[in-house]
């Protein structure tokens, strides 16, 4: 069993390294994006103030 695993790893070494690099880059990108969003300037939510009742009265 261990010999089979060693053989598989030896045969697919470059593919395994590529997979690990892709996973590490993906995790690093997510982490940096999360940190930037967490520490960015917090803006208050947009408020739209509009009175719908006045519009309905003007239409009639």
| Single pTM value for the model | 0.59
User: Is the pLDDT at 14 greater than 60, yes or no?
Assistant: yes
User: b/e string for 8-46 if b means 16 or more Cβ within 10 A?
Assistant: eeeeeeeeeeeeeeeeeeeeeeeeeeeeeeeeeeeeeee
C-beta of residue 15 within 8 angstroms of C-beta of residue 22: no
User: Is the pLDDT at 60 greater than 60, yes or no?
Assistant: no
The residue with tokens 């917090």 is 42
pLDDT, tens digit, for every residue of 18-50? 999 999 999 999 999 999 888 877 777 778 887
């Amino acid at each position: 069993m261990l010999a089979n695993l060693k053989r598989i790893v030896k045969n697919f070494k470059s593919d395994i390294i590529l997979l690990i690099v892709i996973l590490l880059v993906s995790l690093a990108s997510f982490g940096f994006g999360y940190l930037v969003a967490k520490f960015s300037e917090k803006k208050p939510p947009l408020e739209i103030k509009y009175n719908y009742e006045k519009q309905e009265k003007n239409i009639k």
